[in-house]
Amino acid sequence: MSAAVHVAGVGLWAEGLPGFDALRARLAGAPAADTPGRPPAALLPPNERRRAPPQVLLAVEAAGQALAMSGLAPDAPACVFASAYGDQATTDYLCATLARAPRELSPTRFHQSVHNAAAGYWTIATGCRAPSSALCAGPESFGAGLLEAVLQVLADDRPVLLVACDTPGQGPLAEMTACHDAFACALLLAPRADGALARLSLHPHHGPCASLPWPEAFPADWLGGNPSAGALPLLVQLASGSGRCRLPAAPRLGLDIHVESPA
């Protein structure tokens, strides 16, 4: 099979890349942009923004950027949140507290520990009652999320917001995940071309697959360290308006992706 959708919005948050424009500038030779310590995540109500864990702030920031670029109503798109590790700071807190004094566990930190925490905060903040999903697929989490989001666009003929986000490991867990940098991105995928940035066609193929081509402007260890950064080859093609790249969606399932002008 092959599948085609349109990209109506892009969001991005990583060190030196606080948005899609920053990626375009960087590819044009500009130095790394200043990145505030905490993403603004302006769509969250102030009290939630204060309490939300890093994973939620990053995911909401990237999602909000993509939504704003698309011009869609906040509650319109269904959403798919992909993350290889979920909120590692919360997992570390949870396991450390359970080992020390399990009855002192914070109820708020517990409900923030679900893998769909970002999806929950996002749908509550935007009033979105459309389907929302949260998934993981190890190092292939971004590609697996992209495939799921594209299938939702085509199956239900509706816009779908894909958000991929991983945050640095903390405590003893950090050695196991080896994820050292934060990276979040979002794509607002739509069935039709109206005002879209690009047309995306996916061609799945069987066999092992690496994320190609890796943009030289960015540290190679982003790819090894943060599964969500596996999106970069695609983001770079989107920034340049057209091109091809290849991303893994499972250990032996690759996606050949063609980016074209929306036509």
Per CB under 8 A, does 126 bind other proteins? yes
Q: Which of 20, 121, 142, 183 binds other proteins (CB under 8 A)?
A: 121
Per CB under 8 A, does 73 bind other proteins? no
Per CB under 8 A, does 123 bind other proteins? yes
Per CB under 8 A, does 201 bind other proteins? no
From the list 13-21, 171-179, 188-196, 218-226, the region that binds other proteins by CB under 8 A is 171-179
Per CB under 8 A, does 102 bind other proteins? yes
Could you tell me if 5 and 204 are in contact, meaning their C-beta atoms sit under 8 angstroms apart? no
Phi, psi of 95 (to 5 degrees): -70, -35
205 class by beta-carbon count within 10 Å (0-12 exposed, 13-18 middle, 19+ buried): exposed
- Strands in 243-250's sheet, in edge-to-edge order, are 78-82, 160-166, 183-190, 3-14, 198-206, 253-260, 243-250
Q: Which of 55, 141, 211, 228 binds other proteins (CB under 8 A)?
A: 141
Per CB under 8 A, does 131 bind other proteins? yes
Q: Which residues contact 69 (CB under 8 A, 6 or more apart)?
A: 8, 9, 10, 11, 20, 188, 197
Could you tell me if 34 and 99 are in contact, meaning their C-beta atoms sit under 8 angstroms apart? no
In the complex, the residues that contact other proteins under the rule CB under 8 A are 1, 3, 75, 84-86, 91, 94-96, 98-99, 102-103, 105-107, 110-117, 119-121, 123-124, 126-138, 141, 144, 147-148, 151-152, 154-155, 172-173, 175-178, 204, 206, 249-253
